[in-house]
C-alpha cells in the first residue's frame, strides 16, 4: 500500500520538476498568447446574454496553452523532446504529452473582430462597437487581449410568415404551412440566426417524413424586412429558393424493397435465392443462407406503397444494427422519375445491404486487481461468443473466470480468496412472449436475455460458498436517453460450504448476520430504469439517473410450506422475502464551453426492507460503503453501519453492511496535459440497519443520521485515452461518523479504478 501511496506523490513531484519555467525556450521576439477576454457592455436587456458571451468566446483563436499549478507541462514537453534524435520515450512524450505553443504572432486581431461582429449580427445586434486592448507582460513573455464590445437593443421579430410561390406544387406549399404550425420562431422574440437554422432543419425533417426524399434544408430562405419600422423591429419571411430542383418538390413512394443479408466486402457471393415476406425481397446465398428472412422482417419499418419517411429509415438502420450480428448496415434509395402515378407521386426502390460480423470469437482476459481492503491478485478469464447461432440474430456467450487474491496487511496477512466461475447467456434480438408486442416498440425491439451461471468462492480462513444464478428478462431502449431492463425471473441459490471456527464465532455473535447467510434461495423480479444524457456533448449540463426495484419471495409465498419456527420453505429451501429500491443520480456540468473542466455532483439513496419470511436482507443484497467507487477515504466495507465501531482485532468484513445507504459526492475534473487529467473531490455517506441489532450497537437508522455521515476528501490523477480511463485517487477522512471534524492526513487511502466513479 505504501508503494501505491508514494506513486501519486512521485508522479506529482516529477510533473513539477519537469514543468519548470518555459520562458527560456520562447524564441526572441515572440510572446506566449494567454487568451482573450470578452467584456460585453449592453444598454438594453439581452435575452440569453450568458449564451451570447460563450458564443463570442468561441471565436477567440488560438487556444492558450494549458496551465497547471502555474506551470506549462505540455509546453515544456514540447520544447524538451522536440529533437531530431528521438527514442520511443521521447516520441511518446512529444506526441502524447507535448503541446505546441500558442504565440501572439498567431493571433489575427482584425479577423477576430470581424468574426465577433458576425456573431453579434447573428443574434440581432447590429452596429456594435468593438475595441481591443493588448496587455503585454514582459517579465513572463506573455500577452493577453481584452475585447470591449458595446451593443444596443437587438432587433425584434414583429411578424413571421411563409410566402408561398405559385410556381411550386400546392401540396408542397401546404406541407410547409403545416410544418410552421409548430414553429419555434415566435413573434416578439429577438432576431437569432441559430434559431432560423434550427427551424430550417425542423421543416426539412417534417417534409422528409412525408415523402420529400430529395428536399434539403438549404432550399429554405429567410428574408428580413426592416423598411416598415424605425424602432429596431422587422418582418421575417420564409421562402423557397427559386433554384430549388424540381425533383425536390414532389413526394416519393417506396415501390419495392430489396434486402441483401449477407454482403461481404461490398460483394454478394455465390448463387442467390430470393424469398419474399410481406412485400420485402430477401436476397441471400441459396446454399448457405446467413439469416432467416422471417426473423429479419420485423426489424424493417419500411413498407411498400408508403411515402418515404426519414425517421422510419433511421429507425430501421438502428434496429438492424442493434441486433449485434451486422458490422455495417447500409440503406440506399434509387428513384424512378419516369414513373409518376395518378396522384403525382414519384417512386423509389429501397436497397438494404447488411455486412455480417465474424460469427465466432474467443477473448482472453488478464487483470491485476488491488482493492482498498488490501486484497491483491490476478484474474483470468475467457469469453466464447457465437453470433447468430440459430440464424435469427441470437447471441450465445460463454464466460469462464478464475481469480486469486491475497491480503498482505499485518492484521489479516495470509487471508486468501479463490474464485471460479462459469456463466452462459443467450440473447434473442426479439421479445419471447406468448403475445406479440413488438409492434408497440418503434424505436427499438426489446431483446430477451436468458442466463445461467455457477460460482465457487473459497475464503481460506473463513468459508466456502457455492452459488447458482439464472435469469430471464427483457432489455430495450425507449429512445436515445432512456433504457429499461426487466428481469421477470431472477433466481439465486447460495449454499454455504465449510466454515472456520472464526467465521462461526462471527455468526453466533451476530444473529442478523447468521440469518442473512441462512437465506440460501432468492427468487424474484428486478427492474432498472436508466436516463442517460452523458453522451450528449452538445449539452453543458448532463443528467444521469437510474432507479431500480428488486422484489423477492412474493410468488414463492403462495406455494411455501410452513415450518415449526414460522418460516416457509420452497422445495425444502428457505427463501428470502424483501423489497429493495435504489436511486442513483449524477449531474455533469461543463464549466467551460469546450468541456475541459467539469463539475460533477452525485447522489445515491437505497433501502431494503425484509418482511415475511426474512428478518434481515440476504448478505449478497446488503449495502456497503467505501472503496474506489464510493467513499474513497474509507476501505471497502470500512464504514458503518451507523456509528458502529468494530473491535480493531476482530474481522469486521461481514459486520459493516446495512439495509440503508446514503451517499453524496462532489468532484471537480480538470485537464493537466494531454491524456493526463486531474480531480479534486469530496465524498460523504454511510450505511445503516433498518432494525436495531444488539451485536452492532449504533448501527440503526435514526433522525441523527446527518451527524453519522463519514466524510472524506482527496485528489486524483486520471489517464484518459479516448474514453478508457485509468484512475488513481488519494484521499483521507475529515470526519468519522458521529465524531468531530478531524483531517486524518496521516492515514491516506489509495484507490485504483478503471473508469470514472460516477
Is residue 350 pLDDT above 60, yes or no?
A: yes
pLDDT given at position 660: 96
Domain at 2-151: CATH code = 3.10.20.310
Band of residue 557 on the pLDDT scale cut at 50, 70, 90: confident
**pLDDT above 90 covers what percent of the chain?**
55
pLDDT given at position 515: 66
Average pLDDT over residues 24-36: 90
Band of residue 694 on the pLDDT scale cut at 50, 70, 90: confident
Residue pair 728/545 in contact (Cβ under 8 Å)? The answer is no
Rounded Cα distance, 235 and 160, in Å: 6
Q: What is the DSSP string of 277-313?
A: ETTEEEEEESSS-SS-HHHHGGG----TTSBP-HHHH
pLDDT given at position 45: 73
Rounded Cα distance, 448 and 746, in Å: 52
pLDDT tens digit sequence for 259-270:
998 888 777 777
Among 100-104, 183-187, 367-371, 654-658, which stretch is predicted with the lowest mean pLDDT? 367-371
Give the predicted TM-score (pTM) of the model. Answer: 0.85
Residue 665, C-beta contacts closer than 8 angstroms, at least 6 positions apart: 600, 601, 602, 603, 681, 682, 683, 684, 757, 758
- Of 334 and 557, the structure prediction assigns the larger pLDDT to 334
Residue 433, C-beta contacts closer than 8 angstroms, at least 6 positions apart: none
pLDDT given at position 501: 81
Q: Which of 655, 743, 635, 662 is nearest to 698 (CA)?
A: 655
Question: Which residue bears the cell 489575427?
Answer: 108
Is residue 283 pLDDT above 80, yes or no?
A: yes
Other CB atoms within 10 Å distance of the CB of residue 663: 22
Band of residue 14 on the pLDDT scale cut at 50, 70, 90: low
Question: Which residue bears the cell 492515514?
Answer: 747
Is residue 17 pLDDT above 60, yes or no?
A: no
- Give the cell for residue 167: 410556381
Question: Which residue bears the cell 494549458?
Answer: 66
In order of 77, 375, 542, 600, the CA distances from 590 in angstroms are 27, 36, 9, 9
Question: Which residue bears the cell 423591429?
Answer: 233
Rounded Cα distance, 472 and 357, in Å: 26
Q: Taking the domains of the chain in order of start, what are their residue ranges?
A: 2-151, 156-249, 252-356
pLDDT given at position 297: 94
pLDDT given at position 19: 44
Is residue 409 pLDDT above 70, yes or no?
A: no
- Of 7 and 275, the structure prediction assigns the larger pLDDT to 275
Rounded Cα distance, 220 and 185, in Å: 15
The maximal CA–CA distance of the chain, rounded, in angstroms, is: 94
Is residue 118 pLDDT above 60, yes or no?
A: yes
Average pLDDT over residues 637-641: 88
**pLDDT above 70 covers what percent of the chain?**
92
Average pLDDT over residues 54-77: 85
pLDDT given at position 23: 82
pLDDT given at position 464: 86
Is residue 723 pLDDT above 50, yes or no?
A: yes
Is residue 479 pLDDT above 70, yes or no?
A: yes
Average pLDDT over residues 464-477: 93
Rounded Cα distance, 549 and 586, in Å: 19
Rounded Cα distance, 198 and 184, in Å: 9
- Give the cell for residue 81: 523532446
Cα 533–chain centre separation: 7
Out of 382-391, 494-503, 571-580, 633-642, give the one with best mean pLDDT.
382-391
Q: What is the DSSP letter of 594?
A: T
Out of 488-497, 562-571, 602-611, give the one with best mean pLDDT.
602-611
> Beta strands 326-336 and 482-499: pairing type?
unpaired
Q: Which of 730, 729, 718 is nearest to 755 (CA)?
A: 718
The pLDDT mean for the chain works out to 87
| β-bridge partners, 281 | 258, 276
Out of 410-424, 468-482, 518-532, 737-751, give the one with best mean pLDDT.
468-482
Band of residue 13 on the pLDDT scale cut at 50, 70, 90: low
Helix (H) or strand (E) holding 91: helix 88-92
pLDDT tens digit sequence for 197-247:
999 999 999 999 999 999 999 999 999 999 888 888 999 999 999 999 999
pLDDT given at position 408: 65
- Of 376 and 297, the structure prediction assigns the larger pLDDT to 297
Rg (CA), the chain: 32
Among 17-26, 307-316, 685-694, which stretch is predicted with the lowest mean pLDDT? 17-26
Residue pair 644/697 in contact (Cβ under 8 Å)? The answer is yes
Class of domain 252-356: alpha beta
> Beta strands 252-260 and 32-42: pairing type?
unpaired
Average pLDDT over residues 59-72: 85
> Beta strands 573-574 and 578-590: pairing type?
unpaired
Is residue 8 pLDDT above 60, yes or no?
A: no
Q: Which of 63, 91, 88 is nearest to 77 (CA)?
A: 91
Phi, psi dihedrals of residue 707, rounded to the nearest 5°: -70, -15
**E strands within 314-407?**
326-336, 346-356, 360-370, 375-387, 395-407
Is residue 6 pLDDT above 80, yes or no?
A: no
Q: Which of 724, 753, 591 is nearest to 669 (CA)?
A: 591
Listed in sequence order, the DSSP H helices in 431-568 are: 501-509, 511-518
Task: State the first-to-last Cα distance of the chain, in angstroms, to the nearest integer.
Answer: 24
pLDDT given at position 251: 93
pLDDT given at position 377: 80
Cβ neighbourhood burial of 435 (10 Å; 0-12, 13-18, 19+):
exposed
Tell me which of 3.40.50.300, 3.10.20.310, 3.40.50.920, 3.40.50.150 is the CATH number of domain 156-249. 3.10.20.310
pLDDT given at position 518: 65
Three-class SS state of 484: strand
pLDDT given at position 330: 95
- Give the cell for residue 10: 512521485
Three-class SS state of 623: strand
Three-class SS state of 200: helix
Domains 2-151 and 156-249 alike in fold? yes
Band of residue 4 on the pLDDT scale cut at 50, 70, 90: very low
Is residue 131 pLDDT above 70, yes or no?
A: yes
Amino acid at each position: 500500500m505504501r508503494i501505491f501511496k508514494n506513486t501519486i506523490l512521485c508522479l506529482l513531484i516529477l510533473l513539477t520538476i519537469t514543468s519548470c519555467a518555459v520562458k527560456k525556450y520562447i524564441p526572441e521576439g515572440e510572446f506566449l498568447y494567454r487568451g482573450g477576454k470578452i467584456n460585453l457592455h449592453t444598454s438594453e436587456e439581452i435575452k440569453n446574454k450568458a449564451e451570447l458571451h460563450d458564443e463570442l468566446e468561441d471565436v477567440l483563436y488560438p487556444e492558450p496553452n494549458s496551465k497547471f499549478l502555474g506551470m506549462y507541462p505540455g509546453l515544456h514537453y514540447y520544447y524538451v523532446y522536440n529533437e531530431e534524435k528521438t527514442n520511443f520515450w521521447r516520441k511518446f512524450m512529444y506526441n502524447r504529452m507535448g503541446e505546441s505553443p500558442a504565440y501572439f504572432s498567431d493571433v489575427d486581431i482584425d479577423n477576430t473582430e470581424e468574426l465577433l461582429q458576425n456573431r453579434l449580427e447573428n443574434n440581432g445586434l447590429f452596429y456594435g462597437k468593438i475595441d481591443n486592448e493588448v496587455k503585454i507582460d514582459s517579465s513572463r513573455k506573455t500577452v493577453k487581449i481584452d475585447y470591449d464590445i458595446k451593443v444596443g437593443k437587438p432587433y425584434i421579430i414583429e411578424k413571421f410568415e411563409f410566402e408561398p410561390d405559385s410556381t411550386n406544387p400546392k401540396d408542397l406549399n401546404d406541407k410547409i404551412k403545416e410544418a410552421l404550425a409548430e414553429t419555434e420562431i415566435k413573434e416578439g422574440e429577438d432576431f437569432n440566426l441559430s434559431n432560423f437554422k434550427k427551424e430550417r432543419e425542423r421543416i426539412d425533417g417534417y417534409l422528409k417524413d412525408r415523402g420529400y426524399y430529395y428536399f434539403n434544408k438549404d432550399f429554405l430562405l429567410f428574408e428580413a424586412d426592416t423598411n416598415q419600422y424605425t424602432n429596431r423591429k422587422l418582418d421575417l419571411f420564409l421562402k423557397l429558393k427559386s433554384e430549388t430542383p424540381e425533383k425536390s418538390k414532389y413526394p416519393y413512394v417506396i415501390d419495392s424493397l430489396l434486402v441483401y443479408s449477407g454482403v461481404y466486402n461490398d460483394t454478394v457471393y455465390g448463387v442467390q435465392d430470393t424469398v419474399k415476406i410481406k412485400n420485402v425481397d430477401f436476397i441471400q446465398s441459396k446454399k448457405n443462407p446467413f439469416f432467416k428472412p422471417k426473423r429479419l422482417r420485423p426489424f424493417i419499418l419500411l413498407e411498400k406503397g408508403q411515402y418515404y419517411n426519414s425517421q422510419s429509415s433511421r429507425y430501421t438502420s438502428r434496429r438492424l444494427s442493434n441486433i449485434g450480428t451486422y458490422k455495417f448496415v447500409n440503406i440506399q434509395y434509387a428513384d424512378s422519375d419516369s414513373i409518376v402515378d395518378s396522384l403525382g407521386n414519384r417512386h423509389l426502390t429501397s436497397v438494404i445491404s447488411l455486412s455480417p460480423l465474424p460469427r465466432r470469437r474467443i477473448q482472453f482476459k488478464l487483470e491485476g486487481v488491488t482493492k482498498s481492503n488490501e486484497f491483491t491478485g490476478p484474474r483470468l478469464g475467457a469469453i466464447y461468443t457465437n453470433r447468430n447461432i440459430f440464424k435469427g440474430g441470437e447471441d450465445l456467450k460463454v464466460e469462464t473466470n478464475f481469480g486469486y487474491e491475497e491480503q498482505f496487511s499485518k492484521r489479516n496477512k495470509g487471508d486468501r480468496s479463490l474464485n471460479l466461475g462459469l456463466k452462459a447467456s443467450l440473447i434473442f434480438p426479439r421479445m419471447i412472449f406468448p403475445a406479440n408486442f413488438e409492434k408497440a416498440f418503434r424505436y427499438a425491439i426489446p431483446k430477451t436475455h436468458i442466463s445461467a451461471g455457477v460460482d465457487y468462492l473459497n475464503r481460506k480462513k473463513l468459508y466456502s460458498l457455492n452459488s447458482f444464478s439464472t435469469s430471464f428478462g427483457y432489455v430495450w431502449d425507449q429512445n436515445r436517453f432512456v433504457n429499461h431492463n426487466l428481469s421477470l425471473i431472477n433466481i439465486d441459490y447460495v449454499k454455504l460450504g465449510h466454515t472456520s471456527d472464526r467465521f462461526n464465532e462471527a455468526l453466533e455473535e451476530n444473529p442478523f448476520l447468521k440469518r442473512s447467510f441462512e437465506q440460501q434461495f432468492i427468487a424474484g423480479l428486478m427492474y432498472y430504469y436508466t436516463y442517460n444524457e452523458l453522451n450528449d456533448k452538445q449539452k453543458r449540463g448532463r443528467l444521469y439517473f437510474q432507479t431500480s426495484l428488486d422484489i423477492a419471495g412474493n410468488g414463492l409465498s403462495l406455494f411455501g410450506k410452513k415450518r415449526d419456527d414460522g418460516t416457509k420453505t420452497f422445495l425444502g429451501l428457505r427463501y428470502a422475502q424483501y423489497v429493495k429500491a435504489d436511486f442513483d443520480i449524477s449531474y455533469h456540468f461543463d464549466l467551460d464551453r469546450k468541456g475541459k473542466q467539469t463539475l460533477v455532483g452525485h447522489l445515491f439513496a437505497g433501502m431494503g426492507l425484509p418482511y415475511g419470511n426474512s428478518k434481515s436482507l440476504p448478505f449478497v443484497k446488503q449495502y456497503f460503503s467505501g472503496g474506489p467507487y464510493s467513499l474513497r477515504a474509507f476501505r471497502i466495507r470500512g464504514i458503518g453501519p451507523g456509528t458502529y465501531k468494530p473491535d480493531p482485532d476482530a474481522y469486521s468484513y461481514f459486520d459493516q453492511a446495512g439495509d440503508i445507504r446514503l451517499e453524496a459526492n462532489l468532484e471537480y475534473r480538470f485537464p493537466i496535459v494531454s491524456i493526463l487529467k486531474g480531480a479534486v473531490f469530496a465524498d460523504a455517506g454511510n450505511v445503516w440497519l433498518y432494525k436495531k441489532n444488539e451485536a452492532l450497537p449504533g448501527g440503526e437508522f435514526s433522525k441523527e443520521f446527518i451527524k453519522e455521515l463519514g466524510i472524506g476528501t482527496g485528489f486524483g490523477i486520471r489517464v484518459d485515452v479516448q474514453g478508457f480511463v485509468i484512475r488513481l485517487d488519494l484521499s483521507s477522512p475529515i470526519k468519522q461518523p458521529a465524531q468531530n471534524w478531524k483531517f486524518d492526513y496521516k492515514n491516506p487511502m489509495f484507490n485504483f479504478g478503471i473508469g470514472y466513479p460516477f
